[in-house]
Amino acid sequence: MPDDLRSPIKHYLVLHRIDPEQGTRRFYSLMIERDLFGTVRLVRNWGRIGTNGQEKVEEFAGDLEAGQTLEKIAAAKRQRGYRDL
């Protein structure tokens, strides 16, 4: 069995935005995983630091599409002031 099918987590990225002047303490995490049926999923989780936040899951045909979407979302978040953790 290839290594990429053994590990359910393909890619994981955590961003945060902390602005004491505005009282902002937020996180945004992105994770590409493969479920038990081999479906590639992009799991997004966001909210205030210290909470569970909200979650959204999208399914993709393959790793490439999920990776491109992850990078596009991460770039947009970085433009809004989020930094890599």
Q: What is the pLDDT of residues 8-51, one digit of tens each?
A: 666 999 999 999 999 999 999 999 999 889 999 999 999 999 99
The verdict on residue 70 lying in a domain is yes
pTM: 0.84
| pLDDT(4) > 70 | no
The verdict on residue 50 lying in a domain is no
CB half-sphere exposure, 49, CA atoms < 13 A:
14
The verdict on residue 13 lying in a domain is yes
How many domains does the chain fold into?
Answer: 1
| pLDDT(7) > 60 | no
The verdict on residue 20 lying in a domain is yes
The verdict on residue 52 lying in a domain is no
The verdict on residue 42 lying in a domain is no
For 11, the domain range is 3-36+59-84
Give the separation between CA 81 and CA 19, rounded to whole angstroms: 9
